[in-house]
Structure 1
């Protein structure tokens, strides 16, 4: 109820602010027209009004999370040039150290994934949801690349800026602003895109249009894509567990973005509304067979994601050093993220009859995120102090609805896997508060600086009893809540011996609060199996060091970094036998690993030659183990590298990229280790001089049709299908057309 009332208040505030902005713009225009008419009446000539110049304050203020020597940016142009349509595409082009787990729906950086990587859009956290019992996981990919102006990848924990969840790093998204679409010197602009992607046979298009009237700017962006299953390199069709081809699927993806910006002398005020929806229907042929429980044509699954948000924004960049603050950014938001996973079919042998499930997990949040900075001198020391505040209230809800032909009693052993119309965990009200401050201190003209920082985070989880939770098969009463807090310090040293050369070293501590599923899931039934949360889990903490250097510029440069991190109370799950025999198929429980360590290196370099040739390369390697047992951490991917040789003129260009990865180390429980691979991609672009603003791009990916695997997308505990079922797409083609006005 609190979230719903807050949502109503936010929408009312949004409408009020929109009316105020429109009234202000109308009043300014009317006043200017009256003044011009008065001047014309007074004399023989009309006094021309001085044009209003609007600065792109929205673009000038970089997200504080991305203001780090460990961050790298992929711009909207690079997204277009590399035909990036999903997070996995970053890992084979601009960011080889970034992965995406399609099973869990989480981003992976430096061997850590899911909610150990913080994902934000315009300063607002996109939560990662873990549905242990039913599979409605993820949510981090609930955005459209066509709506983005940039993607920043922050590697490692910058504790003073990020807060809970950034142990591996941060995935920082910024959506389009009017100034990204309106060309300099113009008052309006548009970008239209159309594309075909062969790896899922999808067709899609997007359009973004922006208009500026005096001190007001408006942006509309929309996109739609229709596609099918993501291809693999399997060649065995049909039904049953022998199938190696991907199951047939159809999906529709929609995205909408609206922004209004009012530019004033005291900053930029704005309203943003965003909608994302992707619904996917799958013919689960691998789970059907002519004599099985599900017969051909009688078992389909669904996978849906929807995210909506409304936010009030403020950005400020000072014109003078005498201002109280140099920069200020604030966003007040409402956001709702919904994940759904379902199935529908008819059972022929076990519990004969109709069967369907619709499993959902939802996170509703309302919050505030703000930061500011100020530079000043004390003697020979130059300071830049950055500070911020993050406050959020959310409610997490999980529920499974369904139908089958179980008789009474409802929880009979024959139906032990079929229980539904229940919540497998209580609803949870969450609160969090975070505050940080850091100070970049430059020592005279020595080109040396120190940046000490400190962040305080507090969180509180309050489980709520519901009839759906009380009706679950394994209900044992309402678990206790959890509340905790952490101080996370950091210290960074930086030295710039010359322009375009930076050497840095950083020590930082960070933490991650347990998520509500890890604490409270309670899914199972006597006679079958059970998954238990652990309300006594402790927050994860990390303590790490990093050294590195950033060199050069856009023509010639690169980055070298090495890191070592230790983690305490690392949260993991384990399966075990039930000594009492109540759950003969086993017990899954969450626990804290005492000590985990990870280390690795990251290298990238690029060079542009005067004759149009350019080369670039990147390498990412992470080694992660339990320090006490020596077990490999499942989320750590093998070492990966990419090398590109290209040529570009004023109107066309082409790139040949070689992507390679080592074999996966042997992990506990593995019966399939992903082998090493090497694949080639060939891409090209053309901007015909006859059509201004038009760009054609095309690519052939995995040219030699290599069968290869991404370890993040291959189950570590066993494969239910032939290995080729889990392979990545073979040879595919992409074609995109972009027209700018």
Structure 2
């Protein structure tokens, strides 16, 4: 097969079209480009996941649910969370359309439950909401990412506390990712225009000379998001509207330098700086309109420094080392300044998240006892500091402020053992974690430890069929806010500390199968299918419990404390089917999730709608392709179905929704287009083609968060 060992299956999340960039990438790795520009089945490289086990495993053989997005998949969307919305098991939508306020959810957890989902860039964790729940942002740049892996379900072996919903792990690009095929030095540019008020553009300078010990990448990007048109009128007369008030201006800077110290030894240093100045609402997800007194002025910031060393010297098969140290700082500062009734009112509110950490992993392979083995040993340490500062009308307030420190360290081992001529592969692993939480100026230290085991297996039956199974456990350590909150932090509850909280534990079983077949109906076709069923429970769930029996507090309505009160059961399935021909492709996926609080019998924390996604791609010419993707959310099973607001009964979402997207991709090869660059790519399309609303199943029908209106976009990138 053209010298390739196995064809690469594009992840279903892409599911839009087989892109020309994939062909260019495959040609770059396999040799000089061929005259045929379109991506044949043989030209596509194998796809693996690393985040699931710490060892590279093909998607077909991984005994769990995982999706991998590459640069082509990410390029269609203007934001990373929007791109991830195509992934089975990943839910998005439900915000007000702003980049700084995007809802996300993986197997039931995400925004407002972010400690149960792990989000990483180059191994550095992200706090999506900065513990304020007023924003939601991964603070990533899709144009800078080489790949994103989404591992769904309980997975702690390689990651530690928090992977109850899943893991989103992203990796930044290198200099070679911005160079034209065959070039050693060059400039890459991109301009994108979305008619629903988004603009962006970048310039990248890259150098990676053949034979040189050094390579370097410098990147600058500017973005703008204005008022956003919604899919329909919302609100009640006379206060109806169809636009979200918004003004976001972003500046992204990235620098990465690599030094090949010796053969198969490398040192790289990177700096990532993402900033955004906004004029928006106080709560960027829930408030579509800005206050009557004027917009909230804010500044969002993420800065990462990362130093990485890799070594795999010849003659030392037991040494395949990756070691990194990093420091990161994220913040969101917002406030207002207005005059009302002759009185000046000011507010300055700052949330901060600072992290320093180290991560070391060593992988090696060996044979013993009649089996092949791959082993990874790892350790990690992170120190994290959170704080908030509020200055109201010139006076410093302790409201919402709880300076605290996290210290987490972990040791893990993961082995892959291949038996029976590689037909049976066992994955065995475990992780030991020690964690400590400390709150400044309070005698409220909290420390504990946890062990998380994992056992998985795949068995190749024959004919491309692989049976899959997995049992894993994970946990989530209590946060300082849960163990130590005290006082009237909101009008509803007077918080009481609870230093006796225990970690949450999640145990999950997954069973399924994958099928990979070549030349099924035609000489050069490819079929891939994977279905996974999962069933598990999350015990000792931490939640805020009201204590009316204690009587009324000095202020607020009730005393309350966080307790280990709930047992949640989760089950569901995810099905993916992909069929490839050299000139066209068809993809489909279906996902189902049911998560119930056993003490109440109600959905936890909200309802989830089954989702069917269908897509088709076709090569119009060897240089141009077209794709259509349709997502259909079925009517959700709501429990509870209603709630009472005042004296009115409101319904949660009880309808189905369908959204269609059209995408075009063109990479001209012939002159005179080369005058625009050595490689030119044009993307164009329509998001929400039929201008239909979409309401996330967790919403009430009276919500203003109905999704963005139709958006026509065009993007052109050049490599000189």
* TM-score computed with the length of structure 2 as normaliser: 0.81
Q: Which runs of 5+ in 1 are unaligned?
A: 1-58, 405-418, 466-477
Offset, 1:367: 0.9
Secondary structure at the residue paired with 2:73?
Answer: helix
Check 1:538–1:525 CA distance in 2 against 1; reply closer, same or farther (3 A cut). Answer: closer
Secondary structure at the residue paired with 1:89?
Answer: helix
1:342 aligned partner: 335
Check 1:189–1:548 CA distance in 2 against 1; reply closer, same or farther (3 A cut). Answer: farther
1:222 aligned partner: 220
Is this contact kept in 2: 1:334–1:367, CA < 8 A?
yes
1:202 aligned partner: 198
Check 1:667–1:244 CA distance in 2 against 1; reply closer, same or farther (3 A cut). Answer: farther
1:701 aligned partner: 687
Is this contact kept in 2: 1:526–1:583, CA < 8 A?
no
Task: Identify which of 581, 585, 609 aligns with 1:609.
Answer: 581
Secondary structure at the residue paired with 2:257?
Answer: strand
Offset, 1:258: 0.5
State how far apart, in whole Å, the 1-side matches of 2:282 and 2:135 are. 19
1:409 aligned partner: none
Q: Which runs of 5+ in 2 are unaligned?
A: 1-46, 518-524, 644-649
Kindly report which structure 2 residues correspond to 1:136-151, keeping only aligned pairs within 5 A, or say none. 136-139=134-137, 141-151=138-148
Task: Identify which of 380, 387, 392 aligns with 2:370.
Answer: 380
Matched residues, number:
632
Check 1:96–1:566 CA distance in 2 against 1; reply closer, same or farther (3 A cut). Answer: closer
Offset, 1:138: 4.2
Kindly report which structure 2 residues correspond to 1:134-533, keeping only aligned pairs within 5 A, or say none. 135-139=133-137, 141-183=138-180, 185-199=182-196, 201-213=197-209, 214-235=212-233, 242-263=239-260, 264-282=262-280, 296=292, 298-319=293-314, 322-325=316-319, 327-348=320-341, 353-403=343-393, 421-445=397-421, 447-465=423-441, 478-498=442-462, 501-522=465-486, 524=488, 529-531=493-495
State how far apart, in whole Å, the 1-side matches of 2:48 and 2:264 are. 15
1:559 aligned partner: 530
Check 1:236–1:569 CA distance in 2 against 1; reply closer, same or farther (3 A cut). Answer: closer
Is this contact kept in 1: 2:535–2:571, CA < 8 A?
yes
Offset, 1:237: 8.4
Offset, 1:324: 2.6
Which of the pair has more CA radius of gyration?
Answer: 1
Task: Identify which of 620, 623, 631 aligns with 2:594.
Answer: 623
2:14 aligned partner: none
Is this contact kept in 1: 2:399–2:489, CA < 8 A?
no
- Residues 64-102 of structure 1 show CA distances to partners (whole Å, capped at 9, x for unaligned) of 65845232211001212x3342403321x3556343664
State how far apart, in whole Å, the 2-side matches of 1:208 and 1:517 are. 42
State how far apart, in whole Å, the 2-side matches of 1:503 and 1:545 are. 14
- Residues 132-172 of structure 1 show CA distances to partners (whole Å, capped at 9, x for unaligned) of 5xx44545x11111111111111112222121111111001
Check 1:283–1:510 CA distance in 2 against 1; reply closer, same or farther (3 A cut). Answer: closer
- Residues 667-687 of structure 1 show CA distances to partners (whole Å, capped at 9, x for unaligned) of 446433123211221121222
Please tell me whether residue 661 in structure 1 is matched to residue 661 in structure 2: no
Check 1:619–1:241 CA distance in 2 against 1; reply closer, same or farther (3 A cut). Answer: farther
State how far apart, in whole Å, the 2-side matches of 1:480 and 1:300 are. 38
Please tell me whether residue 89 in structure 1 is matched to residue 83 in structure 2: yes
Check 1:241–1:314 CA distance in 2 against 1; reply closer, same or farther (3 A cut). Answer: farther
- Residues 368-423 of structure 1 show CA distances to partners (whole Å, capped at 9, x for unaligned) of 0111111111131111111111111121111212218xxxxxxxxxxxxxx96325
State how far apart, in whole Å, the 2-side matches of 1:295 and 1:94 are. 35
State how far apart, in whole Å, the 2-side matches of 1:115 and 1:308 are. 21
Task: Identify which of 527, 533, 537 aligns with 2:501.
Answer: 537
Check 1:678–1:580 CA distance in 2 against 1; reply closer, same or farther (3 A cut). Answer: same
Kindly report which structure 2 residues correspond to 1:22-101, keeping only aligned pairs within 5 A, or say none. 62=50, 65=54, 67=56, 69=62, 70-80=65-75, 82-91=76-85, 93-95=86-88, 97-99=90-92
Secondary structure at the residue paired with 2:604?
Answer: coil
Is this contact kept in 2: 1:447–1:495, CA < 8 A?
yes
Instruction: Pick the structure with more helix per residue.
Output: 1
Secondary structure at the residue paired with 1:369?
Answer: strand
Check 1:680–1:532 CA distance in 2 against 1; reply closer, same or farther (3 A cut). Answer: farther
Point out which structure has higher relative CO (alpha carbons under 8 A, 6+ apart): 2
RMSD: 3.1
Check 1:559–1:272 CA distance in 2 against 1; reply closer, same or farther (3 A cut). Answer: same
1:33 aligned partner: none
- Residues 673-707 of structure 1 show CA distances to partners (whole Å, capped at 9, x for unaligned) of 12321122112122223324112111112222212
- Residues 291-326 of structure 1 show CA distances to partners (whole Å, capped at 9, x for unaligned) of xxx984x23224542110111111234545x5232x
Secondary structure at the residue paired with 1:166?
Answer: coil
Check 1:61–1:97 CA distance in 2 against 1; reply closer, same or farther (3 A cut). Answer: closer
Offset, 1:586: 4.3
Secondary structure at the residue paired with 1:161?
Answer: coil
State how far apart, in whole Å, the 1-side matches of 2:585 and 2:436 are. 52
State how far apart, in whole Å, the 2-side matches of 1:295 and 1:71 are. 42
Is this contact kept in 2: 1:385–1:438, CA < 8 A?
yes
Offset, 1:337: 1.2
